[in-house]
């Protein structure tokens, strides 16, 4: 059996979806003061009474205005399975039985990542800020009276009026996407059942077995020199073939060449 050939590669997977980001800089507000007369000046001693009219005056203390306000994006979280290795068939490790006994199916392998995606993008909305008013009762002179003495001064009330010193502002930036680097085993070619020439095990001489065992030991595989085609030698040969992606299932000519025995 010729094993599947994989090559290590890397895949960039987006785990956070970037988007524009808006920052609200609210308007800077200030205050002015305004005096409003609520009682007019009058004579201290009236011989002819003045005539007044009671009124309620509506004063706008905050003007109506419109602003743009940023609404941040909302995100959802989900899982994504990234395939790291494709399904394939392989020769079971340490299996020295027949073809049907030693071939096993290896399913796809995955890695699970947490992904953040945009549910509702960031946006800018127009907001109306309504005016605010107060009501002040006051007396308005309709007809002046007559009198003597030092006049009584008019009475006033002080009202604070809001104004905009610096208008609102929206600053824009870009929240970058984030990626995770995932290691994957990319399938170059699948495993194959191939017909190839192999050395007949029954024809192995002690000399050839010894040379084979010595060659395997030179490849840093632990193996005693037994001069016999035993289970230890079979497992050592299989381990060497699997390490070097060589066809398994017997002593192939390709294996002998790799061991420099041909």
Beta partners for residue 39, in sequence order = 155
Angle value at C-alpha 144, between 139 and 150, nearest 5 degrees: 95
List, in order, residues 6 or more apart from 169 with CB less than 8 Å away: 25
pLDDT class of 163 with cuts at 50, 70, 90: very high
Q: What pLDDT score does 246 carry?
A: 86
Give mean pLDDT, residues 11-23.
93
* Distance separating alpha carbons of residues 234 and 240, to the nearest angstrom: 10
pLDDT tens sequence across 103-153: 889 999 999 999 999 999 999 999 999 999 999 999 999 998 898 888 899
Q: How far is CA 249 from the centre of its chain?
A: 48
pLDDT tens sequence across 198-248: 888 888 899 999 999 999 999 989 999 999 999 899 889 888 988 888 888
Q: What pLDDT score does 228 carry?
A: 92
pLDDT tens sequence across 43-101: 888 888 899 999 999 999 999 999 999 999 999 999 999 999 999 988 887 777 777 88
Residue-range domain boundaries for the chain:
5-194, 195-262
Tokens 């050939």 label which residue? 5
Contact 194, 248 (CB under 8 A): no
Beta partners for residue 166, in sequence order = 28
Q: What is the mean pLDDT of the chain?
A: 90
Which residue, 124, 138, 201, 208, is CA-closest to 170? Answer: 124
Q: What pLDDT score does 77 carry?
A: 95
Note the pTM of the prediction, 2 decimals: 0.58
pLDDT class of 252 with cuts at 50, 70, 90: confident
String of b and e for 74-87 (b: at least 16 CB within 10 Å)? eeeeeeeeeebbbe
pLDDT class of 158 with cuts at 50, 70, 90: very high
Tokens 């959802």 label which residue? 76
CATH code that applies to domain 195-262: 1.10.101
Which residue, 42, 39, 36, is CA-closest to 140? Answer: 39
Q: What pLDDT score does 91 carry?
A: 83
Q: Which helix (H) or strand (E) holds 234?
A: helix 231-243
């Amino acid at each position: 059996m010729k094993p599947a050939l994989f090559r290590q590669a890397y895949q960039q997977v987006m785990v956070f979806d970037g988007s524009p980001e808006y920052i609200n800089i609210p308007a800077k507000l200030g205050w002015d003061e305004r005096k409003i007369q609520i009682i007019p000046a009058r004579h201290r001693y009236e011989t002819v009474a003045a005539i007044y009219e009671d009124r309620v005056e509506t004063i706008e203390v905050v003007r109506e205005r419109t602003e743009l306000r940023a609404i941040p994006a909302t995100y959802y979280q989900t899982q994504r399975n990234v395939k790291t290795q494709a399904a394939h068939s392989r020769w079971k490790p340490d299996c020295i039985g027949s073809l049907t006994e030693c071939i096993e199916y290896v399913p796809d392998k995955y890695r699970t990542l947490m992904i953040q995606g945009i549910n509702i993008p960031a946006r800018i909305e127009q907001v109306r800020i309504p005016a605010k008013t107060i009501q002040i009762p006051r007396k308005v002179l309709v007809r002046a009276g007559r009198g003597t003495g030092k006049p009584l001064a008019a009475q006033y009330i002080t009202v604070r009026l809001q104004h905009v010193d610096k208008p609102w502002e929206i600053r824009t930036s870009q929240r970058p996407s984030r990626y995770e680097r995932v290691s994957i085993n990319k399938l170059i070619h699948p495993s194959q059942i191939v017909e190839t020439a192999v050395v007949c095990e029954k024809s192995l001489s002690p000399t050839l077995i010894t040379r084979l065992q010595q060659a395997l030991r030179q490849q840093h595989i632990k193996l005693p020199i037994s001069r016999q085609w035993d289970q230890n030698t079979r497992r050592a040969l299989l381990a060497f073939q699997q390490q070097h992606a060589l066809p398994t299932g017997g002593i192939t000519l390709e294996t002998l060449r790799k061991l420099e025995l041909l």
